[in-house]
Amino acid sequence: MMIVMTPAAAQEQIQAVVARLETTGVHVVVMPGELTTAIGAIGDPEGVRELGLEGMPGVDRVVPISRSYKLASSELSHHEPSVFQIGGRTVGGGSTFCLIAGPCTVESREQTLGVARAVKAGGASMLRGGAFKPRTSPFAFKGLGAPALEILAEAREETGLPIVTELLDAQHAGVIEEYADVVQIGARNMQTYALLEVAGKLGKPVLLKRGLSSSLDELLQAADYVLKEGNEAVILCERGIRTFETATRFTLDLGAIPWLKLHTHLPVIVDPSHAPGDRRLVEPLARAAAAVGADGIIVEVHEDPEAALCDGPQSLYASQFGAFAASVAAHAALLGKRLA
Applying CB under 5 A, does 107 fall inside the site for Mn ion? no
Applying CB under 6 A, does 209 fall inside the site for ligand PEP? yes
Q: Specify the stretch interacting with Mn ion by CB under 5 A; choose among 100-108, 171-179, 231-239, 301-309.
A: 100-108
Applying CB under 6 A, does 187 fall inside the site for ligand PEP? yes
What is each CA distance from 222 to 55, 185, 192, 315, in whole angstroms?
Answer: 29, 11, 9, 28
SS3 of 287-326: the string is HHHHHCCCCEEEEEEECCHHHCCCCHHHCEEHHHHHHHHH
Report, in Å, the least distance between residue 210 CB and ligand PEP.
Answer: 8
Q: Choose from Mn ion, ligand PEP, none: what does 187 bind? Cβ within 5-8 Å by kind.
A: ligand PEP
The residue type of 223 is: A
- Binding ligand PEP (rule: CB under 6 A), the pick from 20, 142, 239, 265 is 239
| Contact assessment for residue 121 and residue 132, using Cβ atoms and an 8 Å cutoff | no
User: Nearest to Mn ion by Cβ — which residue?
Assistant: 104
> Checking DSSP bridges between strand 89-91 and strand 84-86, what pairing results, if any?
antiparallel
d(CA 307, CA 21): 63
| Contact assessment for residue 286 and residue 272, using Cβ atoms and an 8 Å cutoff | yes
Which residues, numbered 299-338, are part of the site for ligand PEP (CB under 6 A)? none
Which residues, numbered 126-145, are part of the site for Mn ion (CB under 5 A)? none
Residue 37, SS3 per DSSP = strand
3/241 with CB nearer ligand PEP = 241
Q: Specify the stretch interacting with Mn ion by CB under 5 A; choose among 9-17, 46-54, 282-290, 308-316.
A: 308-316
Q: DSSP character for 129?
A: -
- Binding Mn ion (rule: CB under 5 A), the pick from 180, 272, 311, 315 is 311
Number of neighbouring beta carbons within 10 Å of residue 338: 12
Which residues, numbered 120-149, are part of the site for ligand PEP (CB under 6 A)? 130, 134
Report, in Å, the least distance between residue 274 CB and ligand PEP.
Answer: 5
Applying CB under 5 A, does 104 fall inside the site for Mn ion? yes
Which residues are at the interface with ligand PEP (CB under 6 A)? 104, 130, 134, 186-188, 209, 239, 271, 274
